[in-house]
Chain A
Amino acid sequence: MRKGFKTRNEHRYVGSYRPRVDGREKASGKAEFFDDIALKIRFPGLLYAKILRSPYPHARIKHCDVRKAEKLPGVKAILTYEDPEIAALKPTNFAWTPFFSISYDRMLWPTYKDRKILSDHVCWVGDEAGVVVAAESENIADHALKLIDIEWDILPYVLDPGEALKPGAPVIHPEINPDGNKIPTSPYSESDTFINRGDAEKAWTEAEAAISVTAHYHNAEHACLGTRGCLMNWKGDELTCWTSYYQADQTRMHITQMLDLPLDKVRVINPYIGGSFGRGNMGEQGFFIFLAILAKRIGRPVLHKYTRREDFHDTRTAVSYECKMGATKNGTITACCFKSLGDSGAYVDHSMAAVDFVPKEFAEETLAHVPNLKMETVLAYTNKIPGGCMRGIGNNQVNLAFGIAIDALAQKVGMDPIELCITNFSHEWGTIPDKSLKAVLQEGAKRIGWTKRHKPCEGHFYEGTKKRGLGFSFHNSWHAAWQELPRGHIQVSIKVNPDGTVILDAPTAETGPGSNSCIVFACAEALSFLGIGPDDIQWISKTDTQRGLKDQVQTDSGISYCHAEMMPRAGAKVKEQILELAAPHLKVTPDELDIEEGRISVKGKPDKGLTVTELFWKGDLVPILVTVSETLPDEVTGTPFCATFVEVEVDTEIGEVKVLKSVVIHDPGTVMYASGAEGQQIGGQAMAIGESLTEEIIYDQATGVPLNFNWVDYKIPTMLEFPDVEPVLMEEWRGAGEYGACGIGESVTTCAPAAIANAIHNAIGVRVNEMPFKPEKILKALQNKAKDEPAAKVMADLE
């Protein structure tokens, strides 16, 4: 039995260890996912759409002849780039919004409209090319695609971002940059050097202790269990869209804006969704548009569901960093320089946020007290799978460079890296030492056994050839309420039935993170005067734009508290209405009444009263309905911190790295749901360790073809590779509002890669900074060390 977390403020339900509210439904197989609904037995007449996928990394369709395919029995319609309705569509991208509903003219990256729906121009192997077929079965649709005669204009391609930036490289998106593959500077930054405080280069050169490290984070894939899909069904001029994307309102906005439809004619429904982790960025995907057109033309429901191979559709943006840090000999950091080269792949989407926006946020929330700070980036197009959001965006990448740099600088200064962090870092609104950071790091050190950490490479061997090492990294958590203000009004509704049970509508796509449970517990907490618990609350699992309330986009790790913050406000309204109803029955005014555990009574006269159910039964039996549409608290509170400590074992003979133990520490301000938060902390390591050690997209350099878009060769950790993970929750920091919580769902993956890199260095004394840390890289680094060591020893002896 492990020791659980203890909250600083006792709540009845919030912060507790409890089963998930959807546990029974999911464990019994009764939870209906998109895949369970989008079936012919549920939608008679269902057709299946398949899109042509580019076999080339860069090409243009010169000519296509669909006549043979059209004649294939079972083919219902073929739509191509030459169709006038398709050709007339506005250029777009798949990243209109960061996390709230937004229209076409206010999209986040208006300068990067590099996507065209059903384009004749394809930019990576697997890219959606300009032909889509709808047929009676998936097999017929696949067969039809093979019958289409396509004359391709095969264009030169480039896979490496460094090569892509060289003069003479094939230009991928001349409509964005006619001169090359450098993606124009972020519209939110004045130049590619987006932070330039003091004189960081000079301070680094003059520093008493200075280090420079490089780090490379690769294109990891979300690999959600449920693949993406969409089913479009028109009835007259009304369109219903079922989808496994996680943003109903924004999907509706996207469809209506692209097709010039009124909002009331488009209904979007999200059933249970098999994971998201930020895949596909948000609700703006090309298939929503061509499927809506296709389904309208045919007059039957049309389904487009990705195969596993197709679901390798976007990734965590690959970024290479160079990070320089300078400090005094006492360990006061005087300079930090971050220079990154981002690989956006074939389209920008949200990749600019990974290299520009999020590092800015990191500077604000972690590096605020570094006197000289420079951050610069170049983002390039390549002919590869596009980058974008994946459990955060850019946080992991900047943390890899930062975490390794801290470790190297501490070694240079001769200081414990934990001490170095506590004495140098805090957010813009805080002071040093930061209470949250200090608590997080000290607790992590205690749990991993930091005092037993030896000097790099100086540990003894285990089982002959294996060496062990410890490492850690930390990051600011995100997001707190003030950072989620652009969401605008957060809407929830509560219906109290005459028997005292409750129907809660707090719409957000249920992708797994546990926000649904947080919301139910916060609702039970706010309505505890009714004498009810979580089991009395029916939470509506499907998000449906027709129900009226705007759903919160399941992103930014923020939903648990976004909705929970509305619950006390809704609870107060419910109370007010009940007391108003009860007052005439008890022949007093509402302010003379109180309600506790489901019983209304006159203040000071506990005998004079009635239960809520009795009250309802005396009246018209109409439920109490309360809707709240309000904004989050706007007080700027900074953010707390999180860290990951790991112990690894490196087999110096075969180069294999194993994570033996991982301690994941978060200070979310208020723990909304302990079992859920610990589930995130533990679960995040399956992704972070996979990305660090085994997962990698491999391209055939000679053809640009990705070789492992499947789960046999793209290696996701199983239970056997999964280490002992100790989740640690603490409540040191506090934000604004009823709960003052900060998200953790994305940051659970952020610190592990750097922690593992540092632990490898601690074990074997060499740095392997290029992810994934595969055996061949470990062995090569060890060989280089062996080569260098005799020479270094001779040099040292000479000195």
Chain B
Amino acid sequence: MENSTDRIRIKINGTWHDFELDRDIRPADTLAYLLKEKMGLTGLKVACDQGACGACTVIMDGEAVLSCMTLAVEADGHDIVTIEDLGENDPVVESFAEQCEPGYGTAMQCGFCTPGFVMTAKALLDENPNPTLEEVREALSGNLCRCGCYAAIAQAVLAAAKKMKAKGTKE
């Protein structure tokens, strides 16, 4: 890494941020802690703090990662996207918000797990724009929803894929 040992740089939602080790972050701080507690990016949620539930998912270099299991220093030189970067008219956000197709329920209830699901779905759709239901289930199986909105979440992801396609065609 070209940075000096006591400084790290992380690209967060399109902007590079510099941090001084020990002053801004400690070696044991997780990426979740840095983003949420220090930078106020509160969209991500820390629910289990042990990599079991996916609520803290962010996207690092295009891949969904658990920010509670990633040290902040590990993100040095990497590109992080949090849900704050998506905006309300992002097709995935929109599809989760709008899901009300009869027979499936809504894509969230309490909503605590939702940002994690949205980010995992986003990473999936960026890589595989036409997933099958089985591929969606497999990709999202690391995210827990205790309210049990799994059927509607899967529908929302499939709907998001269609939306992204339609948007792509328009552009």
Contact = CB atoms under 8 A, between A and B. Distances in A.
Q: Are chains A and B native binding partners rather than an unrelated pairing?
A: yes
A491 interface: no
A106 interface: no
Given A675-B100, A719-B150, A719-B153, A26 B114 contact: yes
Interface string A670-707: 00001110111111111100000000000000000000
Interface string A261-295: 00000000000111101000000000000000000
Contacts of A716: 144, 146
A274 B144 contact: no
B95 to A, nearest CB: 8
Interface of B: 36-38, 40, 42-50, 52-53, 55, 82-84, 86-88, 90, 93-94, 96-115, 118, 136-138, 140-154
A361 to B, nearest CB: 25
Nearest to B137: A719
A33 B113 CA distance: 11
A752 B156 CA distance: 26
B110 A682 contact: no
Given A29-B118, A512-B111, A722-B150, A675 B106 contact: yes
14 contacts: A3-B103, A20-B97, A23-B106, A29-B83, A226-B110, A512-B108, A675-B106, A678-B103, A679-B105, A679-B152, A682-B148, A718-B144, A719-B141, A727-B103
Interface stretch (A36-44, A201-209, A332-340, A583-591): A36-44
Contacts of B154: 719
A626 to B, nearest CB: 30
Contact of B108 (A20, A223, A224): A20
Nearest to A678: B105
Interface of A: 1-5, 17-20, 22-33, 35-36, 39-42, 222-227, 272-275, 277, 307-308, 511-514, 674-676, 678-687, 710-712, 716-720, 722, 725-727
A4 to B, nearest CB: 3
Q: Taking chain A's interface residues, is the majority helix, strand, or loop, or is none over half, making it mixed?
A: loop
Given A27-B96, A28-B87, A726-B103, A35 B43 contact: no
A272 B109 CA distance: 11
A225 B50 contact: no
Q: Taking chain B's interface residues, is the majority helix, strand, or loop, or is none over half, making it mixed?
A: loop
Contact of A225 (B82, B100, B110): B110
Contacts of A307: 49
4 closest Cβ contacts across the A-B interface? A29-B43, A686-B148, A2-B103, A679-B105
Contact of A712 (B37, B50, B101, B108): B50
Given A39-B37, A717-B148, 11 more contacts: A4-B102, A23-B108, A26-B111, A226-B112, A274-B112, A679-B109, A679-B152, A682-B105, A710-B50, A722-B150, A727-B103
B83 A28 contact: yes
A511 B108 contact: no
Nearest to A724: B151
A615 B107 CA distance: 41
B144 A224 contact: no
A678 B100 CA distance: 9
A227 B47 contact: yes
Contacts of A28: 43, 83, 86-88, 90, 93, 97
Contacts of B140: 718-719
A308 to B, nearest CB: 5
A31 B109 contact: no
B137 A720 contact: yes
Nearest to A5: B102
Contacts of A226: 45, 47, 110, 112
Given A2-B103, A29-B118, A275-B146, A23 B97 contact: yes
A19 B82 CA distance: 24
A41 B101 CA distance: 40
Contacts of A20: 97, 100, 106, 108
B52 A712 contact: yes
Given A41-B38, A711-B53, A22 B148 contact: no
B94 to A, nearest CB: 8
A686 B101 contact: no
Given A2-B104, A27-B107, A27-B118, A308 B38 contact: no
A723 to B, nearest CB: 10
B107 A2 contact: no
A712 B141 CA distance: 13
Most buried by A among B98, B101, B102, B109: B109
B52 A711 contact: yes
Given A41-B37, A684-B148, A679 B47 contact: no
